[in-house]
Amino acid sequence: MGGFAKNKLAEKRGYTYRLTRRQFLVASSAAALAACGPAAVTPSASPSASPGKELKIGQLLPFTGVYAELGNSMRRATTLYLNQNDQKIANRPVTLVYGDDANVTATGVQVTQKFIDQDQVDVMMGVVPTPLAYGIRNAVHAAKLIFIDTNAGGNALTRDTVDCKPSCKSPYIFRASFSSYQISYPIGDYLSAKGTKEFFLAYANYGFGTESAADFTTGLKKNGGNVTGNVAPPLGNPDFAPFVTQIKNQPTKNVYSFFSGADAIGFIKSWNSLGLPAAGYKMYGAGFLTEQDVLKEVKDLANGAITSLFWAVELDNAENKKFVADFQKSYPLLPDVFAVQQYDGMRALDEALKKLGGDTSDKDKLVKALEDVTFKSPRGDFAFDKSTHNPIQDIYIREVKTQNGQTVNTISDKIAKVADPGK
């Protein structure tokens, strides 16, 4: 192996590419390993763990790209939980393996494969975007890797679907967050039952936005409500004025929307500067429309908006008060809903493993133990639905108000024990 032929083009430009013998050997053997690696190292062959042994948790989160702050928040919650529990889960010292998906599905799929083959993690958690959760579903299912989804809310991840398209439930997949049905259908049902029956829809035009809009519509129609029209800006749309102008030029005054983050801020600002509140229009939405990340930027511009979510920082229960206080002791900011999801995911794993004495070797036993977990979470009573592995949880109806100079979500009502209709 005498190295490579010189690169003529590179030479012409004044620099050369030459591999040394050592570089070549490293590169070629790595390629050879990669080619036969996944087959050679079967994940089920990992040695059975006894209590006291390190517990490896793979965390697949975005730390770069548009969802980076969600990843940061979920990492803070993980750190907080471990700090509160002596860095142990069920008496096993925890080793965290973080992987950054950068909101790119292909990258996330690679990291998942690395968790399975190379790191041989005991449990996997995380995943922010739904397409990524769908993308890794088959890999974790085949590897019998316990995966606790702590954000992605696409309905299909915990449902039976035809030919498993775009995804379907797996015994090894649990969800500690929510399904998009849970944050959309109940409020549609609730509002129409209370007599507000006509709505115009505004939602980000991508999988999760359209799914949320469809579930809201189903809930609305249950009590004779109907949808009069819609606008659907692309996800990450820079200018919301054209869409809000469309809303202003149609007669339905109640507008249900699904936006989050930067989109929510752009939507609410345009909504006000184009004078919709004065013209009698009223804003409704899935809870992400008015979470803290949005409220701290738009403040009282969101006043009066009615949204639904399974948690609010203002929620009045002992667990939530302790959680918010502990979080603020560790970090100079309020926790958000993503932190709660991750925190509950850690808690669920902890509760399940305690019952097994920390033993993760028998995956089916662990699945059973997770199915039986119940505890008081900052969001209220937490339990997994045994047939879908999606949480059964209370949904809160919240109204944005500015009190003592702080703009907050005040809880106006509660819909108890909402389960996803998946079987």
**Which residues are near another protein by CB under 8 A?**
13, 64-66, 68-69, 72, 205, 231-234, 236-239, 241-243, 245-246, 248-249, 261-262, 265-266, 269, 273-275, 278-279, 293-294, 297-298
Residue 258 or 396 with smaller CB distance to another protein = 258
- Residue 157 phi/psi, 5-degree rounding, is -65, -25
| Cβ closest to another protein, residue 249 vs residue 404 | 249
CB of 234 to another protein, least distance (A): 5
Min dist. Cβ of residue 264 to another protein (A): 9
CB of 19 to another protein, least distance (A): 21
- Whole-number minimum distance, CB 128 to another protein, in Å? 13
d(CA 61, CA 56): 16
Least gap, CB of 336 to another protein (angstroms): 10
Least Å distance, CB 98 to another protein, is 15
Distance of closest approach, residue 216 Cβ to another protein, in angstroms: 18
Minimal distance, residue 302 CB to another protein, in Å: 12
Q: Residue 168 or residue 231: which is nearer to another protein going by CB?
A: 231
Residue pair 263/297 in contact (Cβ under 8 Å)? The answer is no
CB 155 within 8 Å of CB 396: no
SS3 letters across the chain: CCCCCCCHHHHHCCCCCCCCHHHHHHHHHHHHHHHHHHHHCCHHHCCCCCCCCCEEEEEEECCCCCCHHHHHHHHHHHHHHHHHCCCEECCEEEEEEEEECCCCHHHHHHHHHHHHHHHCCCEEEECCCHHHHHHHHHHHHHCCCEEEECCCCCHHHHCCCHHHCCCCCCCCEEECCCCHHHHHHHHHHHHHHCCCCEEEEEECCCHHHHHHHHHHHHHHHHCCCEEEEEECCCCCCCCCHHHHHHHHCCCCCEEEEECCHHHHHHHHHHHHHCCCCCCCCEEEEEHHHHCHHHHHHHHHHHCCCEEEECCCCCCCCHHHHHHHHHHHHHCCCCCCHHHHHHHHHHHHHHHHHHHCCCCCCCHHHHHHHHHCCEEEECCEEEEECCCCCCEEEEEEEEEEEEECCEEEEEEEEEEEEECCCCC
Query: For residues 152 and 231, which CB has a smaller minimum distance to another protein in the complex?
Result: 231
How close are the terminal C-alpha atoms of the chain, in Å?
A: 60
Cβ proximity to another protein: between 57 and 202 the closer is: 202
If the CB atoms of residues 7 and 412 are measured against another protein, the closer one turns out to be 7
Name the residue nearer to another protein (CB basis): 260 or 377. 260
Smallest separation (angstroms) from another protein to the CB of 4: 22
Which of 252, 254, 245 minimizes the C-alpha distance to 306? Answer: 254
**Nearest approach, Cβ of 104 to another protein (angstroms)?**
13
Q: What one-letter code names the amino acid at 19?
A: L
Residue appearing with tokens 């790119």: 104
Residue placing its CB nearer to another protein in the complex, 195 or 280: 280
Length of the chain: 423
Name which of 236 and 357 has its Cβ closer to another protein: 236
- CB 214 to another protein: min, Å: 15
* Residue (46 or 205) nearer to another protein, CB: 205
Pick 242 or 357: Cβ nearer another protein: 242
